[in-house]
Amino acid sequence: MFLNKEMLKNDFKRKLIVMFSEDIQEASPIHQYVAFSSLIKDYLSENQMKTNKKYAKDKVKQVYYFSMEFLIGKLLENNLINMNIRKIAEDGLKELGIDFNKLLQIEVDAGLGNGGLGRLAACFLDSMASLSLAGHGNGIRYKYGLFEQKIVEGYQVEVPDSWLRDGYVWETRKIDKSVLVKFGGDVSLIQENGKLKVIHKNYEPILAVPYDIPIAGFNNNTVNNLRLWSAEAVEKDFDFTSFSNGDYLKAVEYKYSVEAISQVLYPDDSNEKGKMLRLKQEYFFVSAGIQSIIRRYLKMGITLENLDKYVAIHINDTHPSIAVAEIMRVLVDEYEMEWKDAWKVTVNVCAYTNHTIMAEALEKWPIGMFKKLLPRIYMIIEEINRRFCIEIFEKYSGKWDKVNKMSIIQDGSVRMAHLAIVGSHSTNGVAKLHTKILKEKELNDFNGMYPERFNNKTNGITHRRWLMLANPKLCKLICDSIGEEWIYNPIKLKELEKYSKNSALQEKFYKVKRDNKIEFSNYVKENYDIKIDPDSIYDIQAKRLHEYKRQLLNVFNIINLYNELLENPNLDITPRTFIFSAKASPGYHIAKKIIKFINTVADKINNDSRILGKIKIIFMENYSVSLAEKIIPCANVSEQISTASKEASGTGNMKFMMNGAITLATLDGANVEIREVVGDDNIVIFGLSSEQVFNYYKNGGYFAKEIFNNDKRINKILSGMIDGSLNAPKAEFYDIYDKLLDYNDEYFILKDFDSYVKAQDRIDKLYKNKSIWQQMSIINIANSGVFSSDNTVKEYAKDIWNIKKAEII
Ligand SMILES: *Cc1c(COP(=O)(O)O)cnc(C)c1O
């Protein structure tokens, strides 16, 4: 579609009149935003129709990415960039007297995810569309996304995220594509004409209504779809008798009980709760997605035996793994396929990504609850498991322990990860180290059973959002230096490397970073009334708050530095600004205490005039995609300091590196691969290796109290937590103290402390040499292209989904 600035301006004016009967002068900023975004969506709609027609006409194989979370953030600027009209939009709006950046700020983040997992799904959607691949999202339209975090007197306070309150311009309700999802009831099997027939009675029907969000590819006319399902009562959602009798609440009770399913995103990260509502959510969006996919392909005249040639379903983490059983149910019960044929199709259609080895994150459901909520699905899983156990028994003749270890139903629960592996042709980990651990430890038995199914796909991030959108100054400098080819093929960022020693260019990169830092310091001054020095090192740890991510290790180093400065005021250190941003799950007690601890330490250090502003600590509230876009471009140091083996991949690490920060890291997740590409000289590594960590877990030999007794620095830091020297009640941080000493420091914070302090010292020394630092920074940017999700998605397309480009002309 051809579009120039004048057309855009005219269309916009017209849209304001059509929507609000207003001209530019009358329209409020919010009306301007709504009308302008709706106009952009109109443009996308035309290309989406073309895209759909092409996919249908050529019977293109399509991927459906099933994910409980899609952390997509704001869409307006992203869409303008991908449509290649960002510049004319900004200029056009300016001519109409509208501040483009202010307009962009009006949009609310769609925060339908907790962290890395949900953001990965969003990056993959962007890459699939940009690579002209037919790939769509399938998820839940939560009425409330991840809570909004406020910090009040140092504590996290959660505020509901009512992102839909003022309407959401990017979605379209598709009432005619609704499907029924059935919960509970009684199932019986009867013989009919020599065939087994399933009768499901007394179930509770829930209407799943889809809302579609267009996903635009970069400069290629492709517009794919993100389909999010909303739960509604089927018909009788208003009890008129109760209403007439004056019981208003009872009248709407049923409606609310149904809508509860898509009411709110669970705010847990790396942690599962055996909650009935959660299982309901999972089955709800999976069943709705599968039913609507199968319905569409039947309409296209494709026989279900061939479904695997036209459809790939991706199971993003364990949450949607019930898809395996739901596909079987639809094929066997509704379309009377033979079990064996249906199973073959199901396994070929499904692929599974494992995101964590942490036991508490692998979903298990109590049999009783599962059976009651999903009686037919439970029967199907029993049958899948019966056949699978025979297969194990035949392969490992007589080894019952293998059966017990791998069985899907065991010890009173349904193990969902096992179902996903058994019912998929591919199981992948998300970084080399993580996949190795899966194969050798966590899923070793399954790897023995199905070695050909296991593979690695290291996570990635879209360079369009995380470089072009988030850091326009850096983007421009890169284009000025090496041209624009990297935008289409991010590996080409490598061209930058040959200039890494060029002092004129180093100076330009330094200037861009400094400008970003100044912009950020202004933001902090305005919002937090804290002055930070743009010439200090911006040292940033921004990610979910979790013990394994070890924000505490970071704080301990800061306290230690502070103690040293008090003892020796002339200590020659480069001033540092330590920036934290992290949400804690509302029920995660220790994580919330750590937030309070960071803020308490910040309060003390920021207000101590003796250290002459050499250290500043800022806790930015409400970490979200939009805040990440602000923080990451100004980072000098990227803190990726998880206990080795715990962070499956990480993607924050990639975003920071792409924006020129130096990674300070343990050899965990994708940090290992970042080191591989930039080389030892351009990353700072410290701490235990994953082998050492496993060894301690297995054989013991680590005693936190020993370190506490022998290391004066640790002794002072920990004692200071509970002796009242911080401006907080003495007991405030006792639980943290206790976990480190009485519970022997599960995440090896004290163990890695010395190594971390030394690594931080190396950072200080490296930063003092401006030329070396800039060289390192450029080398990091130059090698970040391999972490573009375009590369990751290409590998999924080739190795797992078996799909090819389908260009839209
Ligand atoms: C990238 C991202 C994450 C993931 O960060 P990690 O450091 O990999 O844990 C979490 N939240 C948001 C908002 C992100 O953009």
Say whether both 610 and 639 belong to one domain.
Answer: yes
Q: Is 354 helix (H, G, I), strand (E, B) or coil?
A: coil
Say whether both 468 and 444 belong to one domain.
Answer: no
Assess whether 543 carries a catalytic annotation: yes
| Nearest protein Cα to ligand 1, atom 15 | 625
Q: What is the mean pLDDT of the chain?
A: 96
Say whether both 453 and 495 belong to one domain.
Answer: no
Say whether both 490 and 634 belong to one domain.
Answer: yes
How confident is the model over 285-307, as a mean pLDDT? Answer: 96
Say whether both 375 and 469 belong to one domain.
Answer: no
Question: What pLDDT shows up at residue 250?
Answer: 72
| In the predicted structure, residue 245 carries a pLDDT above the cut 80 | no
| In the predicted structure, residue 273 carries a pLDDT above the cut 80 | no
- Residue bearing tokens 């709800």: 284
Our count of domains for the chain comes to 3
| Nearest protein Cα to ligand 1, atom 8 | 650
Q: What percent of the chain has pLDDT over 90?
A: 92
Span 752-772, pLDDT tens digits:
999 999 999 999 999 999 999
Say whether both 526 and 674 belong to one domain.
Answer: yes
**What is the whole-number distance in angstroms between the Cα of residue 431 and the centre of ligand 1?**
16
Say whether both 504 and 442 belong to one domain.
Answer: no
Say whether both 494 and 536 belong to one domain.
Answer: yes
Residue 516: name the closest of 481, 476, 471 by CA: 471
Question: What pLDDT shows up at residue 240?
Answer: 61
| In the predicted structure, residue 3 carries a pLDDT above the cut 60 | yes
Residue 126: name the closest of 115, 136, 113, 116 by CA: 136
Residue 228 lies in a domain: no
Question: What pLDDT shows up at residue 149?
Answer: 98
How confident is the model over 207-213, as a mean pLDDT? Answer: 98
Residue type, 702: Y
**What is the whole-number distance in angstroms between the Cα of residue 651 and the centre of ligand 1?**
6
Domain that holds residue 48: 1-54+75-96
CB 109 within 8 A of CB 74: yes
Residue 282 lies in a domain: no
| Nearest protein Cα to ligand 1, atom 9 | 543
Among 457, 491, 506, the domain-final residue is 457
CB 378 within 8 A of CB 371: yes
The least confident of 153-162, 357-366, 593-602 is 357-366
Question: What pLDDT shows up at residue 244?
Answer: 66
> Cα separation of 306 and 297, whole Å?
10
Assess whether 544 carries a catalytic annotation: yes
Say whether both 443 and 467 belong to one domain.
Answer: no
Question: What pLDDT shows up at residue 239?
Answer: 61
Residue 133 lies in a domain: no
Cβ(355) to ligand 1 under 6 A? no
Atom of ligand 1 nearest to the CA of 461: 1
**What is the whole-number distance in angstroms between the Cα of residue 185 and the centre of ligand 1?**
41
Span 26-36, pLDDT tens digits:
999 999 999 99
CB 385 within 8 A of CB 413: no
Residue 195 confidence class, pLDDT cut points 50, 70, 90: confident
Residue 164 lies in a domain: no
Q: What is the CA radius of gyration of the chain?
A: 27
> Cα separation of 121 and 117, whole Å?
7
Question: What pLDDT shows up at residue 268?
Answer: 85
Q: What percent of the chain has pLDDT over 70?
A: 98
The least confident of 472-481, 495-504, 523-532 is 523-532
**What is the whole-number distance in angstroms between the Cα of residue 66 and the centre of ligand 1?**
20
Say whether both 630 and 765 belong to one domain.
Answer: yes
623: its two tokens: 């970490």
pTM for the full predicted model: 0.97
**Ordered DSSP codes for 571-608:** -----EEEEEE----TT-HHHHHHHHHHHHHHHHHHT-
Residue 187 lies in a domain: no
How confident is the model over 108-112, as a mean pLDDT? Answer: 95
Assess whether 458 carries a catalytic annotation: no
> Cα separation of 793 and 652, whole Å?
18
How confident is the model over 394-423, as a mean pLDDT? Answer: 94
Residue partners of 390: CB distance under 8 A and separation at least 6: none
Burial of 660 (0-12, 13-18, 19+ CB in 10 A): buried
Cβ(651) to ligand 1 under 6 A? yes
Catalytic residue among 15, 418, 544, 646: 544
Q: Is 526 helix (H, G, I), strand (E, B) or coil?
A: helix
Say whether both 444 and 475 belong to one domain.
Answer: no
Q: Which of 69, 270, 547, 651 to mutate to test the pocket of ligand 1 (most atoms within 8 A of CB)?
A: 651
Assess whether 712 carries a catalytic annotation: no
CATH code of the domain in which 444 resides: 3.40.50.2000
Beta strand pairing call for 427-429 and 413-415: unpaired
**What is the whole-number distance in angstroms between the Cα of residue 691 and the centre of ligand 1?**
26
Cβ(635) to ligand 1 under 6 A? no
Catalytic residue among 356, 462, 651, 792: 651
Beta strand pairing call for 537-542 and 637-640: parallel
Say whether both 374 and 522 belong to one domain.
Answer: no
Residue 60 lies in a domain: no
Residue 243 lies in a domain: no
**What is the whole-number distance in angstroms between the Cα of residue 543 and the centre of ligand 1?**
5
| Nearest protein Cα to ligand 1, atom 7 | 652
CA atoms within 13 A on the CB side of 613: 7
**What is the whole-number distance in angstroms between the Cα of residue 224 and the centre of ligand 1?**
24
Residue 316 lies in a domain: yes
Residue 237 confidence class, pLDDT cut points 50, 70, 90: low
**What is the whole-number distance in angstroms between the Cα of residue 43 and the centre of ligand 1?**
31
Assess whether 275 carries a catalytic annotation: no
Q: Is 458 helix (H, G, I), strand (E, B) or coil?
A: coil
Cβ(624) to ligand 1 under 6 A? yes
Residue type, 122: A
Catalytic residue among 141, 319, 355, 546: 355
Catalytic residue among 655, 663, 739, 792: 655
How confident is the model over 488-501, as a mean pLDDT? Answer: 98
> Cα separation of 331 and 336, whole Å?
6
How confident is the model over 246-274, as a mean pLDDT? Answer: 82
Atom of ligand 1 nearest to the CA of 71: 13
